[in-house]
Structure 1
Amino acid sequence: MAEEVKRDIPEIVGFACSFCSFKASEMAGSLRMKYPEGITIIQVPCSSRVDPAFVIKALFEGADGVFVAGCHPGDCHFIKGNYYTRRKIAALKEMFKAFSMDKKIKLFWVSASEARRFVEKVEHMYKEIKEGSGNEGKKG
């Protein structure tokens, strides 16, 4: 059994809607923009499809942070999906305040053409986590 190597790189899980945010992440790659390693992006049909349980599971299984990225309000391909997302994530962050983990959850809006904005948001979250405290919810 290989010994687990402790890394100094924050692990961040991101859920990105397929119509806007995920396209922005792909465009960033096509334009050879770089963002820190340790970021795992999961494509979802709409940001509203991200169940709060997915965020909780990611944090308690070792992610240092989780972001949900969706279309700008009013631009959702599923009409009101991002409004539902905003309410769900706000409630989840409020719940996580009790554990001082609310800052480990981010929500942001990015259109398909905003590759630079996507990279900036991810880099900002990465820096906040790297400079902040460890994830109290981490196992082991």
Structure 2
Amino acid sequence: MPANRTTVAAIGALALAGALLAVAPAQADSSPSGSGKDGKGARSAPKGDGSKEICKRLPKTKGRVDAAITRLGGDATVAGSVTRLEQRVAAAKTAGHTEVYTYLNDRLTARKALLPTLQKRQGDLKAVSTWCAAPDAK
């Protein structure tokens, strides 16, 4: 039995709507302005090295690095210190908690590796501080 015209028209309309919906998302982000879903638009390439912002944030950055070095070098009473974590690793090993020991020991290894990185950064920040204080900087 042949389909009536309204059925054929409805199927055609559904097919057309489906095709349009499939193409619409592809065309939505192809605008030349590059605006994305967040509405902020495309970011441009940096125009400089950001030295002005680095000099502006330098005191806060130095404070954070100094605080981290102090914390890592603290005694067993200081949360986050290498010494405190070493004690926790030893306690886990003594208690026979193999999985906890492995986890804490891996954290200890990472924490010990962090200290030289922060000390290097501290030296770099001293050099940047000197550069920022120079009259021809920025």
TM tier, shorter chain? Answer: under 0.3
Higher percent of residues as helix: 2
Higher-strand-fraction structure: 1
Structure with larger RCO (C-alpha < 8 A, sep 6+): 1
- Scaled by the length of structure 2, what TM-score is found? 0.23
TM-score by length of 1: 0.23
